Every structure is written in C-alpha cells, then in structure tokens.
A and B are shown apart, each in its own frame.
Chain A
Amino acid sequence: MKPSARTTKIAAGALLVCLVSSAFALHHLDRIGTQTSTEEPLYIPSPKVIKRFSLGYDGLLADLYWTRAVQYFGTKHYQHARDYNLLAPLLEITTTLDPHLIVAYEFGANFLAPRPPFGSGMPQRAIQLMEFGIRNNPDEWKLYYNLGFIYYMELKEYAKAADAFARGAKVPNAHPALKVMAAEMAQHAGELPMAQIMWSTAYQTVRDPYIRANAITHLRALQVDEDVTNLQKLISVYQQKTGNLPSSFTDLQTVRLLRTLPLDPFGHAYKLVAGGRVEVRDPDNFPFITKGTPPGYVAPPVRFRPEDLGAS
C-alpha cells in the first residue's frame, strides 16, 4: 500500500547516474564548443534587425551581447588570434540596444581601432562608434576622450584629436586631462608625455579589466621607451665626452652622468650590449615597446599578464 520501494530505489539510482553523466557530457560539449564557436558567424549581424526583434527587452539583450563581446575578445586573446572580426558587430549591436553602455564604447576604442594583432584594425568604425555614443550621451566626457584617443594613437591625426579633447573638456565634470591635452596638442603632439597622460587617464578611469590591462601594458612600454631613449642619450654624451663607448652603466655613473642604476618597470636592470645599445632584459615582458629590443627580435603575440587582468 506504500509506493513501491523497488521502483523508488531504481529510479533514484538511475537519476543519480543520469545527473552525473549529464554533467560530464556537458563538460565535454563545452570543450568541443569553445573550439568551434569562435568560427561561428554572427547569426544576425544587423543591429537594427536585432533591435526590432528584441520586443523591448533591449537592456537584457544588450547585457547579453556585451557579455558575448567580452568573451569573444577574451577567447581570441587567449588563443593569440590575429583577428577580431566579430568584435565590431558585437559592439555595434550592444550599443544599438543600449546606447548608454559606456564601457562598450571604451572597449571599442581600445580594441577596435588598433592594427591586428592588437585589435580589429578598424579605426574608422571605431570612430563611428564613438560618434554614435557621443550623439546619445553628449555629456559623457569619456566618449570624447576615447574619440581623441583613437585619432591620436591610431590615425595620428593630431588636429582632430585636439578638437575631440577640446569638445570633451567643455562637458561638465570632465577629467582635467582633457583640457591639458587639448592645450598641449599643438606643440607636443607625438611626444611621450602626451601618450603617458592618455594611458594613465584610461587606467585610472576605467573599470573593465581588459582595458586596464591594456593601459598598464602600454604605460610600461612607454616607460621602457623613455628609459631607453634617455640612456641612449647619456651614452652618446659619454661618447662625445670620452671618445669611447661605455662598457657598462657604472662607467656612466663614474662620470656623474647617471646617479642610480636604471631598472625597468619590473625591477630588472637594463643591459648595455656591445655597440652601445641599450636593451631591456626580457623583451617578451613588454609588448608594444618600440625601443630596447635586440636586432631581429620578433615580438610574440600580445598577452596580458594575469595579475594585470585581476587587478581591478
């Protein structure tokens, strides 16, 4: 008169077996999935179509697409991919659905504009994205900043960059750096301090881990570039003074050209190699550097350090 104990035992046992099996099967599917999904074409690449189908649940869908954009980028980045083709449509869809998702624009500025393999290599599209963002968020200084950033960093169109910064400086609560950069652009465009200000501002004002990691990696590279440039200058001064190349940095110290031994951002000493070249000890640690690499050096694909990614 009670429920059958035999049936209960068998069904419960089978349930457990199925539960465990399904977890394993799913895990396996995941692994297959990550190998193929990056090749998957975006089903509906048109932002307008998606917006129409969203039935008004734009916010949720925007969040969904934003998540996918970040995942897409992360997966590609992890795999040392050479292109990020789907990033532009993903970001465009995200911002069409939610024009006020500022971080999506910032992501676009950082990773759409740069040339492959650092980014998608689509600076014009990135600019369009920023302009769209500005139209929808005219009081958001970050968008003007990012626009100027693209003009400056990728396109080297300094006049347009200055213009963007100037526009942004007028916005209430704008970051003071904007005014400074607009003002200094005419004279100091292309110089190291400008770049340093820009990357520092990005690092300080953005929360997204990839953008921050990108910024700090660039800052380190700039630091190395600056250090190497300065050291090279000191070496030529030494050469002029003594007629010889220094054999080590202590030589420079002896003639009071250098006070303390220079260290790279990770605390390692720079190398002085034959021929008076300054080199950084581990060039692989410093993506984006333009100086201090041995001849014939080929930079490996960019990979952000895990500490940088977890730092926020």
Chain B
Amino acid sequence: MPVIEILELEKTYSVGFWRKRPRIALRPLTLNVEDGEIFGFLGPNGAGKTTTLKLLMGLIFPTGGSARILGMQINDPRVKAQIGFLPEHPYFYDYLTASELLEYYAQLSGVSSSERRRKVSEVLARAGLQDAAGTQLRKFSKGMLQRVGIAQAILHDPKVLFFDEPMSGLDPMGRREVRDLMEELKRQGKTVFFSTHILSDAESLCDRVAIIHQGELRGVGAVEDLTSSVEGKAEIVWHGNSIPASLNSLTTECHLVGDAVRAVVREANQDAAIDALRREGLRIISVTPVRTSLEEYFVRKIQVSQTAAGVIS
C-alpha cells in the first residue's frame, strides 16, 4: 500500500475583493509514494510545491480531490503522530532555547515525559546543535534554524518525513549533512517526501521524482528512467583556434575564447570527440558536463508547457 496517496487533489483560490477571480494554485494531482523511498517533488518557484505540502499537512483545505497518508485521512491525529514536517524558511519561537523548543514539540507530539529529554538530546546531536542547545533561538543563524527545523521533524521518530526545500540556507557542508541524514532515514526504513528546485540533489538522492510546473504535474518516474530518455551534454575546452573537421559533426555549438575553443558535444559523442582531439594532437583543457540529465529532462518539460502556453516562443 502506498504510504502517500494523492488523488485528484486540487486547490483554487478566489482572488480579489469584488469580483472573485480564480487563481489555480494546483491542478488535479494524482500521485503515489511508496514505502521506504525518497521522493523528490521538483519544480521552479511558484510551481505549487509548497501548496501541495500544505495540503498534505492540513494547513490549507483542498477545493477538490483527496489524499491519504499511511492509509488514513490527513487530519487524523494518528497520522500526525507519525509524520514530521519541515516548512520552508522555518521560524521558531524566538524566546525559547533550542532544547526548550524541542521539548515543547515533544510534548505536543505525545512523546512520554520519561523519553523526552533523551530524544531531545539525541536529535540535537544528530543535527549538530548540541553546543547551541541552551542558546535562545533568536540568536540562531539561518543555517542553524534549518537544522532545528530538521531536528523537530525527526524528533518523534515519524514514519514519513515531509521537507519543503530542506537545503535552502545551508552552506555546502550543511547540504552534505542533510543529504547524509536523508539517506540514513531511508536506511531506517522511513519514507521521505521533499520538494526542491536544486536538481543535483534530487538526482543523487531520489528514487523517484515528480516534476510540477504552474500547478500541473509534468512527469513522474524513477530517476534512471527519466534520465535515460534524455541525453546529457558536455562542454570540451581545448587549446587552439579552430575546430578540426572530424569534430564538426559531433559538436552542436562552439566559439573561441582567447586562445581556446569551447565546444558542446552530446554526451554519447563525448568519448569520440575526445579521441578526435587527441588524434589531432590538440591539448584538452577541460571536459565538463553542461547540464545533468535530469536537468535537461526538467527543462524540456518546463519549456514544453511554456511554449504551449505561449510564454516562450
């Protein structure tokens, strides 16, 4: 049984004071998330990712459709006891210290009083905040707040985690730690549903992804399946001032930069291009992937809809 079942879930806002114009935040969305997988919910800003998460959390009410988590209705307290939520740009009660906040949340989540202290310090350590436990939250940096957010989400050992842009505001070290955490959660058998617009993270972490744009689902599937349909590109830079004839058919674009040439080749032709250059005796300066496969897939999906909508010609 899927852990998260979303069926035709939609949300339309009526905007305006006198004449209510409808603003469609989410078109009917149907999606399933299986047990134990890391699921990425991808899309540009304003695509509807946060709307979807809020609908799943019961913070806003759908105008159509339904959803179930762990087979139960969204607002069922039994469900809420087993899920954890990290909102985007989280903000917490300024006047509390980190451990006070987590104790409070533990109380609300129904963690028994004997267990509370232990779980709080566990989670603080896990989030790397053990030194800041007694500091008031108003003194925390953005990155530290993000960690607190993660801490409160995993505090009560929930089965399903929902993260809204979990990497935002973190430096590369922090992002690495979050990635490690998410993989550890998966190893523990938990399900993670997170939204992001950083595709490289999604590519390395997720089992499956869904792409959403302008409130509409554009594509769902396992990462390998999606990327296999799309070819990546690579950019090759070499010392020289012209393109050898043998490369002409392989490159899609190229230009001269100083005493070097930059050319873009399709990923499949990457090796052939490199061989050709070496045969010519040219010095290769660098070979860099231009876009990841997932990114290519993503952009294509977005562009299709934008073209269809007449946004980009």
Contact = CB atoms under 8 A, between A and B. Distances in A.
Interface of A: 1-4
Prevailing SS type, chain A contact patch: loop
Contacts of A4: 75
Interface string B37-70: 0000000000000000001001001100011000
Contacts of B73: 1
Prevailing SS type, chain B contact patch: loop
Nearest to B58: A1
A4 B73 CA distance: 11
Contacts of B75: 1, 4
A2 B73 CA distance: 10
Contacts of A2: 61
Contacts of A3: 61
B243 interface: no
A20 to B, nearest CB: 31
A2 B62 CA distance: 8
A3 B67 CA distance: 14
Contacts of A1: 55, 58, 61-62, 66-67, 73-75
Contacts of B55: 1
A3 B62 CA distance: 11
Given A1-B58, A1-B73, 10 more contacts: A1-B55, A1-B61, A1-B62, A1-B66, A1-B67, A1-B74, A1-B75, A2-B61, A3-B61, A4-B75
A2 B55 CA distance: 10
B313 to A, nearest CB: 40
12 contacts: A1-B55, A1-B58, A1-B61, A1-B62, A1-B66, A1-B67, A1-B73, A1-B74, A1-B75, A2-B61, A3-B61, A4-B75
Contacts, number: 12
Nearest to B66: A1
Q: Which of A1, A3, A4 has the most CB of B within 10 A?
A: A1
Classify chain B's interface size: under 10
Contacts of B66: 1
A183 B41 CA distance: 102
A4 B75 CA distance: 8
A4 B66 CA distance: 15
- 10 cross-chain pairs, A with B, having the tightest CB-CB distances, nearest first: A1-B74, A1-B62, A1-B66, A2-B61, A1-B61, A1-B67, A4-B75, A1-B73, A1-B75, A3-B61
A188 to B, nearest CB: 73
Nearest to B65: A1
Nearest to A3: B61
Contacts of B61: 1-3
A215 B55 CA distance: 74
A1 B57 CA distance: 9
A135 B103 CA distance: 73
Nearest to A4: B75
A7 to B, nearest CB: 10
A3 B58 CA distance: 9
Nearest to A1: B74
Interface in B60-107: 61-62, 66-67, 73-75
A30 B58 CA distance: 45
A4 B76 CA distance: 10
Interface string B271-287: 00000000000000000
Contacts of B62: 1
A4 B62 CA distance: 14
B12 to A, nearest CB: 15
B83 to A, nearest CB: 14
A1 B66 CA distance: 7
Nearest to B67: A1
B80 to A, nearest CB: 13
A2 B60 CA distance: 9
A151 to B, nearest CB: 65
Interface in B189-231: none
A3 B60 CA distance: 10
A293 B178 CA distance: 105
A9 to B, nearest CB: 16
A180 B74 CA distance: 90
A1 B56 CA distance: 8
B30 to A, nearest CB: 15
A1 to B, nearest CB: 5
A2 B66 CA distance: 10
Nearest to B60: A1
B10 to A, nearest CB: 12
A208 B75 CA distance: 63
B65 to A, nearest CB: 9
B2 to A, nearest CB: 17
B109 to A, nearest CB: 19
A3 B61 CA distance: 8
Nearest to A2: B61
A139 to B, nearest CB: 52
A270 to B, nearest CB: 74
A2 to B, nearest CB: 6
A177 B31 CA distance: 94
A3 B66 CA distance: 13
A3 B73 CA distance: 12
A2 B61 CA distance: 6
A212 to B, nearest CB: 51
A80 B142 CA distance: 75
A1 B79 CA distance: 12
B57 to A, nearest CB: 11
Nearest to B56: A1
A3 B74 CA distance: 11
A246 B67 CA distance: 107
A3 B59 CA distance: 10
Interface string B178-192: 000000000000000
